[in-house]
A and B are shown apart, each in its own frame.
Chain A
Amino acid sequence: MSEKDKVLQQISDIKTHLVDKEAFFPYNFNSCHVWSVIAVILTFVMIPAYEHSVALGTGVTFVMMVIGFIVEGIMTKKVNKSYEIDDCTRRQQFIMKNFIIISFFLIAFSAVLAMHKLYIPILLLWLSLISMGYMAIGFVINVKDYEKLAFFNIFMALLLVVVGMSFNLFEDRELFLVLVQSTLVFGLAIAPSLLAIKQKKNIKKGCSV
């Protein structure tokens, strides 16, 4: 490598490292596992709860989401402590606010759908909107896999809506419901957890150099 190449490399390195503090504090990927568990529970509990009553369905969903946010908050605080920072970073605040807004919207809209007994669309709505949250996370923390997962989930949600409407499967629902629930379990629980494990491995690899 010539001296000029070395200097160019040095300049490139410097440019790469002229970054904002926010870039240091990675997302707490453990919280993805918590959300995965909540996603599985809601996938199977939400419809029976809404069938019992809209108030019960709304209550169960609200409680599960609040539990998720509290656990995520505790885990974030723990991770931040290890980085010697006391407050949330702007990125963490953005991700949290993003999901809180999406969740409240989902809870409200699900109640409306439940009043019209449109239970499967509730699940598909959650799949697509929570995926939009994952898309935002992927963009903010620059993890392309989350964006890809979000695109896949939204595509699947739209596809299932079209299939459900075309063949009137929202009413005659047994097998179709199993298909929708399987898609949710994969898209909102298994895949995000696998990506979180992959990201944690990548971070560990980086630190051991």
Chain B
Amino acid sequence: MFDPLLHQPVRSRLLSLLISNDELPFKALKESLKVTDGNLSSHLSKLEKEEYVLIEKTFEGKRPKTVVHITTKGREAFGSYIEALKKFIEEN
């Protein structure tokens, strides 16, 4: 009934943050979601595998910079997930 990838608290919050901002640095996501680096990386890999997000790793001088973008597919999936949640509430 619900998209199993999004029906998980951390991943749904993560997509909510990206929906409002298009792209966010890894650190900002980590602090907002209150998760560890490893935990966030694991959730991001799952979302990236389904092409819901795009992870961009670059270097700024010698410092690595990781920015997470939401894809069109991710936006659509999130929209459908919200609709499914609303439908569930209306029917129950």
State which residues 75-92 of B face A: CB under 8 Å.
82, 85, 88-89, 92
Tell me the count of chain B residues lying within 8 A, CB to CB, of chain A: 29
Across-interface contacts of A14 in B (CB, < 8 A): 12-13, 16, 82
Q: Taking the complex as formed, is B27 at the interface, i.e. its CB lies under 8 A from any CB of chain A?
A: yes
From B31, B66, B88, give the contact of A207 (CB < 8 A). Answer: B31
Question: CA A90 – CA B92 in complex, angstroms?
Answer: 42
A23 to B65, CA, bound (A): 20
Question: Secondary structure of the B side of the interface?
Answer: helix
CB pair B60 A10 closer than 8 Å: no
Chain A interface SS verdict (over half): helix
Q: By the criterion CB–CB under 8 Å, are A10 and B89 in contact?
A: no
Chain B CB within 10 Å, residue with most, of A11, A15, A25: A11
Number of A interface residues at 8 Å Cβ cutoff, please give it.
Answer: 26
Q: A84-B25, A85-B25 are contacts. A8–B89 as well, Cβ < 8 Å? A: yes
A18 on the interface (CB 8 Å rule)?
yes
**Selected contact of A10 from candidates B12, B31, B32, B65, CB within 8 Å:** B12
A-B interface, 9 closest residue pairs, ranked by CB to CB distance from nearest: A17-B16, A84-B25, A24-B28, A209-B34, A17-B13, A21-B21, A14-B16, A4-B92, A18-B20
> Assuming A16-B16, A17-B17, what are 10 further A-B pairs, CB within 8 angstroms?
A14-B82, A18-B19, A23-B32, A25-B28, A84-B60, A84-B65, A85-B25, A203-B31, A207-B30, A209-B34
Q: What residues make up the interface of A, taking CB atoms closer than 8 Å to B?
A: 3-4, 7-8, 10-11, 13-21, 23-25, 82-85, 203, 206-207, 209
